[in-house]
Amino acid sequence: MNRGKIIAIITGAISIILAIAYLILVQLLDFRGEMKPAPVSQLPQQVIVYRTPV
């Protein structure tokens, strides 16, 4: 085999490995369930103080 074919095979194998790893990652993230927003009671509350001019 010449050098070009070896590089092509290695590059293709790396591409397939990355694609499979990406699919596994997406499946794991999807397996966690539906994304729900945090309850409003747990969000940090902001206090705004207005001063009226005297």
Q: Mind listing the pLDDT tens digit for each residue in 1-54?
A: 799 999 999 999 999 999 999 999 999 988 887 877 767 776 666 777 778 877
Q: What is the pTM of this model?
A: 0.57
The CA distance from 21 to 29, in Å, is 12
Domain membership of residue 46 (yes or no) is: no
Would you state the pLDDT for residue 3?
94
The count of domains in the chain is 1
Would you state the pLDDT for residue 43?
62
Domain membership of residue 18 (yes or no) is: yes
Domain membership of residue 39 (yes or no) is: no
Domain that holds residue 23: 1-34
Domain membership of residue 52 (yes or no) is: no
Domain membership of residue 2 (yes or no) is: yes
Handedness of CA 38, 41, 45, 49 (dihedral sign): positive
